[in-house]
Amino acid sequence: METIANKVVVITGASKGLGRELALAFAKQGACLALCARNEELLLKVKTEAEKLGAIVLAVAGDLS
């Protein structure tokens, strides 16, 4: 089985719900994260949580619709 460590994972809708949970799960596995969401305040909270788990995180607030 291939490891996710040091792979880049892109997640949209990362500020809450399933996107948030996926971001934190991938962070625990050592992935590098590129996160996007409309709510910048919530997104930055997820970024901080993921970084505390050891992930490298790029967070960009924006609407991809």
Tens of pLDDT along 1-51?
A: 678 999 999 999 999 999 999 999 999 999 999 999 999 999 999 999 999
Structure tokens at 54: 């050891």
pTM of the model: 0.93
Report the alpha-carbon distance of residue 36 to residue 12 in Å, rounded. 5
pLDDT (mean) for 52-60? 98
